[in-house]
Amino acid sequence: MTEKISTVFKDFAFKDSQLTLLAGPCAIESYETCAQVAEKLKEITEKLHINYVFKSSFDKANRSSADSDRGSGLEKGLAILERIKKNFDLPIVTDVHESYQCQPVSEVADVLQIPAFLSRQTDLLLAAAKTGKVVNIKKGQFMAPEDIKSATSKIDPITSKILITERGTSFGYHRLVVDMTGLIEMREAGFPIIFDATHSVQVPSAHGNHSGGNRDYAFPLMRAALEIGVDGIFAEVHPNPPEAISDADNQLYLSKIEPILVSANHIFQEHLASQEERSADGLL
């Protein structure tokens, strides 16, 4: 593990010794849905001593179909995220798709997330970095693990507050796979690694005009990533996933998330203890 979470999130007193979670509904549907998820996840993560960042997107700009619901939009979405941040005292992560969005989004969000499809967009990366906020780069489905260094090298002269998120790699048509050795290779970039458990089980365009997925595979992959050693987990969580406007097949049920986080936190702590033991024995 990189042990840089506390540096990246220094404004929030996050600890390297705690699992970090970026989670919430895929898209902003309403304040009420976001609040329900934020309240429950904050309760669970405080109990388990997990660093928590609330996640939801104001615009799903890369939907498969032009007819798909893209979410609340920039103005309304930021207003909802600002209410979540204030009412629940949580840091916020949300996607940016265009360079012009970075400054207004940075006035609310603490983490600007670069979608995987846009991970090579130089102007977007630079605009996000110049805000001074944390930049979470999701590795493109088309990129090899070592290619992520090209993305981070564009902005690390500007900011060191960088996260790298793995969300699966394209394997032929309509198929994503997760290369667990890639998580180790990406650590060589020198920044904390986050594993996206729910997008990694997505099946692109499975339903023709929208993606499918299998949420049942999310925790097994999460468990494997934590055993390998990652700094945090990204997960889409919704009160009623089948009714969600996006990623209905792979979002996790809010009512079922606590035992998943209990297990994930246990694996994280065991790996951390094992790593510290190997370090003390001179094996690292």
48-107 pLDDT, tens per residue? 999 999 999 998 666 454 555 466 789 999 999 999 999 999 999 999 999 999 999 999
Q: What average pLDDT does the segment 196-203 reach? A: 94
Q: pLDDT for 2-11, tens place per residue?
A: 568 999 999 9
pLDDT at 67: 54
pLDDT confidence of residue 65: 46
Tell me the fold of 5-280: TIM Barrel (3.20.20)
Average pLDDT over residues 250-272: 97
Strand segments, DSSP code E, in 228-268 are 232-238, 252-253
Q: Which of 73-87, 169-183, 196-210, 259-273 has the lowest mean pLDDT?
A: 196-210
The percentage of residues in the chain with a pLDDT greater than 70, rounded to a whole number, is 89
Position 280 scores a pLDDT of 64
User: pTM to 2 decimals?
Assistant: 0.93
Backbone dihedral region for residue 27 (phi beyond 0: left; psi -120 to 50: alpha; all else: beta)? beta
pLDDT tens sequence across 100-140: 999 999 999 999 999 999 999 999 999 999 999 999 999 99
Q: Mapping DSSP to helix (H, G, I), strand (E, B) and coil, where does residue 210 land?
A: coil
Residue 203 has a pLDDT of 86
The pLDDT tens digits of the residues spanning 141-178 come to 999 999 999 999 999 999 999 999 999 999 988 889 99
- For residues 193 and 145, the answer to whether their CB atoms sit within 8 Å is no
Structure-block tokens of residue 217: 């595979």
pLDDT for position 173: 86
State the pLDDT at residue 3. 60
Residues in the chain: 284
Instruction: Look over the chain and give the mean of its residue pLDDT values, rounded to a whole number.
Output: 92
Q: pLDDT value at position 95?
A: 97
CA 44-49-55 angle, to 5 degrees, is 60
Would you tell me how many other CB atoms lie within 10 Å of the CB of residue 48?
A: 18
How large is the average pLDDT for residues 250-254?
Answer: 97
* Per-residue tokens: 184: 């180790």
**Measured CA distances, 148 to 78, 115, 256, 271 (Å):** 29, 13, 33, 24
